[in-house]
């Protein structure tokens, strides 16, 4: 799968003391984190890994990733980043992320923070990354406002998210299965219109539709793209 964490040549050089925060995961959080990579593995092989690489090739300068999970994006980051800050609020995910960062000798900070209230000043980052996160964040509107706040003018949001289907039959199916899916998939909203939320804060958003192959049909519709903050 993508991001086995061993590479990430761009963010692993030299001295790199890792600033981290951690707390012990409870059994449910640890178990969900353990199952996350195996559950995604087929999808990664069937195109998601390549999509991550294509998206992250656009990362520059000081980079922050929200909901970094187990670190699936670590390997594809390009060389020469000035800083990489990985935020992740779930202790089980964060423990795995932390281990991957350490094992890879990657120079990155792992920070315990939810996307709705980020402990960073305005305009701190050149690039902000969100992959498969805005479906899960409880207050996605607040999270998108925060994404924009921490980007400098001219800074870039890179996103890869699964979204509400355009096709009506599939959208109805997403609505019917939204509750059980949310319970199964740790709070994920399979029917969330994430692209509309992004457009509300980033009018210049450029998005391409795609399909998340190798995963249940209700999360097939993807959008991948970027948005630049006006100067
Ligand atoms: C489906 S996983 C995606 C992980 C990773 N970004 C990836 O691409 O594989 C969703 C992630 O969002 C995190 N998450 C949940 N609530 C969040 C919040 N309020 N703010 C930021 N991340 C959150 C979860 O802990 C989980 O790591």
The lowest-confidence range among 23-27, 101-105, 195-199, 219-223 is 23-27
| pTM of the predicted model as reported, rounded to 2 decimal places | 0.91
User: Distance (Å, rounded) from C-alpha 90 to C-alpha 124?
Assistant: 23
Atom 16 in ligand 1: residue holding the nearest Cα: 137
Q: How far apart are CA 11 and CA 75, in angstroms?
A: 9
Q: Which residue's CA is minimally distant from atom 23 of ligand 1?
A: 67
- pLDDT-derived band of residue 7, with 50, 70 and 90 as boundaries? very low
Average pLDDT for 151-174: 98
138 neighbors 148 (Cβ within 8 angstroms): no
Measured in Å, residue 79 CA sits from the centre of ligand 1 at 24
Indicate the average pLDDT of the chain. 91
For the chain, where are the E strands, in sequence order? Answer: 62-66, 83-87, 109-111, 125-131, 151-162, 206-211, 221-228
Residues 68-105 pLDDT 10s: 999 999 999 999 999 999 999 999 999 999 999 999 99
Give the percent of the chain with pLDDT over 70: 90
| DSSP label at residue 219 | G
Question: Rounded to whole angstroms, how far apart are CA atoms 179 and 34?
Answer: 23
Average pLDDT estimate for 54-64: 98
Q: Does residue 165 carry a pLDDT above 60? A: yes
114-143: pLDDT as tens digits: 999 999 999 999 999 999 999 999 999 999
The rounded percent of the chain whose pLDDT value lies above 90 is: 86
- What is the C-alpha to C-alpha distance for residues 149 and 114, in angstroms, rounded to an integer? 14
Residue 64, strand partner residues? 85, 128
- Confidence check: pLDDT of 19 > 80: no
User: 143 C-alpha to center of ligand 1: Å?
Assistant: 12
Using the predicted structure, report yes or no on whether residue 16 has a pLDDT greater than 80. Answer: no
The DSSP annotation for 17-79 comes to: PPPB---PPPHHHHHHHHHHHHHHHHHIIIIIHHHHHHHHTT--SEEEEES-TTTTTTTTPPT
Residues in contact with ligand 1 (CB, 6 Å cut-off): 66-69, 72-73, 88-90, 93, 114-116, 131-133, 136-138
Residue to probe by mutation, ligand 1, list 22, 37, 98, 136, most atoms within 8 Å of CB:
136
pLDDT digits (tens, 9 = 90+) for 110-122: 999 999 999 999 9
Separation of CA 9 and ligand 1 centre (Å) = 23
């Amino acid at each position: 799968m993508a991001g086995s964490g061993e590479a990430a040549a761009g963010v692993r050089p030299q001295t790199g003391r890792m600033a981290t925060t951690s707390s012990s995961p409870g059994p449910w959080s640890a178990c969900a984190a353990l199952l996350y990579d195996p559950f995604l593995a087929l999808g990664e092989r069937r195109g998601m890994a390549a999509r991550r690489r294509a998206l992250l090739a656009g990362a520059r300068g000081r980079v922050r990733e929200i909901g970094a999970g187990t670190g699936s994006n670590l390997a594809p980051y390009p060389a020469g980043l000035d800083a990489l800050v990985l935020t992740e609020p779930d202790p089980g995910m964060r423990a795995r992320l932390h281990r991957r960062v350490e094992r890879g000798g990657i120079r990155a900070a792992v920070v315990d923070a939810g996307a709705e209230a980020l402990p960073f000043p305005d305009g701190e980052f050149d690039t902000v990354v969100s992959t498969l996160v805005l479906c899960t964040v409880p207050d996605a509107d607040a999270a998108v406002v925060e994404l924009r706040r921490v980007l400098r003018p001219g800074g870039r949001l890179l996103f890869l998210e699964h979204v509400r289907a355009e096709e009506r039959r599939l959208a109805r199916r997403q609505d019917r299965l939204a509750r059980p899916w949310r319970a199964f998939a740790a709070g994920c909203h399979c029917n969330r219109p994430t692209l509309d939320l992004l457009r509300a804060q980033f009018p210049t958003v450029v998005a391409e539709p795609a399909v998340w192959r190798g995963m249940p049909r209700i999360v097939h519709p993807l959008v991948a793209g970027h948005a630049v903050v006006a100067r």
